Amino acid sequence: MTVVLNPYLSFPDGKAREAMEFYASVLGGELTVMTFGEMGTEGPLADQVMHGQLQTPGGLTLMGADAPPEMVQVTFGDNVSVSLSGGPDDAEQLRGWFAGLSEGGQVKQPLDAAPWGDEFGMFVDRFGISWLVNIAGQASS
C-alpha cells in the first residue's frame, strides 16, 4: 500500500457537513459522512460530523469533521494551507476550483502570473480554510 498525506480539516459550530458538501460541489467526487450519532452519541452532537471524506475522480482526498469545543479547540491562522497544484494541462480545472472554492471567501492574492513563472493565487474560503493554487508554467523546450 502507498502512504498518502490527506488534509484533515476541523470545523467549529457544526459547519463540517456544509463545508464538505461545498467542497464536493466544487471539486466533484463522492462524499461520505459519519455522524457522532451513528457512533452512539446522543444529544446535540448526534447530527454533527464525526468523520467526512471526499474522494474526487482525480484522486484527491479531503477529510473533515466537526470540532465540538469540549473535544477540539479550533484556532484559525496562517500555519496551515491546503495546496492544489498542477501543470498546464490542469490549468482550466485549477482555475475553476480557485473561482469556486474562493466564492464567499476572501481572495488574498488573485490567481495571476508569479515571479517564478507559474500562475499562483491564495484565498481563505468561507469556512476559514486557507488555500494555495499553483499552475506550473509551460516547460521550456
Same structural domain, 98 and 49: no
In this prediction the pTM is: 0.89
- In order along its 141 residues, the chain shows pLDDT tens digits of 677 889 999 999 899 999 999 999 999 999 999 999 999 989 989 999 999 999 999 999 999 999 987 777 788 777 789 999 999 999 999 999 999 999 999 999 999 999 999 999 999 999 999 999 999 986 543
Q: Identify whether residues 104 and 55 lie together within a single domain.
A: no
Return the closest-CA partner of residue 87 out of 27, 23, 141, 133.
133
Expressed as residue numbers, the domain containing 124 is 82-135
Is there a single domain that holds both residue 22 and residue 49? yes
Q: How many domains does the chain have?
A: 2
Q: Locate cell 482525480: which residue?
A: 58
Sign of the CA dihedral with 98 first, then 134, 88, and 86 last = negative
State whether 12 and 48 are in the same domain. yes
CA distances from 92 to 28, 85, 87, 96, 100 (A): 15, 12, 10, 6, 12
Q: Is residue 124 part of a domain?
A: yes
- Domain contains 58: yes
- Residue 62 and residue 94 in one domain: no
86 and 62 belong to one structural domain:
no
Distance CA 93, CA 20 (A): 19
